[in-house]
Amino acid sequence: EDQVTQSPEALRLQEGESSSLNCSYTVSGLRGLFWYRQDPGKGPEFLFTLYSAGEEKEKERLKATLTKKESFLHITAPKPEDSATYLCAVQDNRNSGAGSYQLTFGKGTKLSVIP
C-alpha cells in the first residue's frame, strides 16, 4: 500500500526565514511525485511534478527536490502570500489502466508566514 507522510504538520516562519517541508513516501514504483498548494476554502492547485531521484524544479521562491525515499519543498525568503497548506502526492507505476491516474496524498503541511 502506498504511503505518504508529510512533516511538519504546521510551520510558522517569519517573512524572509527560509525553510523546508518534507514528504517521505513508500511506493512500489514511483511514476511521479507531485506538489500541490491549497489555500483556505479552495481546491488544491498543482505546483510541481518530479519523476526521478536527483530531479529539481523551481518556481519563484519554491524549489522541489526528490530522492529515492523523500521529497523536499524548499521555500527561500518566504512572503506572507506563501501561506497555504502544501500537499504532496505520489503516483504508483504498479497501477494500470484507469488506476494509472490515481494519486495518494499526504495530509499536508500548513505554512504560515508572519510579516
Q: Which residues make up the interface to another protein (CB under 8 A)?
A: 31-32, 34, 41-46, 49, 87, 89, 91, 97-103, 105-108
Give the residue with the Cβ less far from another protein, 5 or 67.
Answer: 5
Q: Which set of grid coordinates corresponds to residue 75?
A: 521555500
In the bound state with another protein, the residue whose beta carbon lies nearer, of 22 and 76, is 22
Nearest approach, Cβ of residue 86 and another protein (Å): 12
Which CB atom, from 98 or from 115, has the smaller least distance to another protein? 98
Q: CB-based contacts of 47: which residues, under 8 Å, 6+ apart?
A: 34, 35, 36, 37, 59, 62, 64, 86
Q: Which is nearer to another protein, 11 or 76 (CB)?
A: 11
- Beta strands 45-50 and 84-92 are unpaired
**Least distance between another protein and beta carbon 5 (Å):** 10
8 A C-beta contact, residue 7 and residue 72: no
Taking the complex as a whole, the smallest distance from the CB of residue 106 to another protein amounts, in Å, to: 6
The CA-to-CA distance between both ends of the chain, in Å, stands at 41
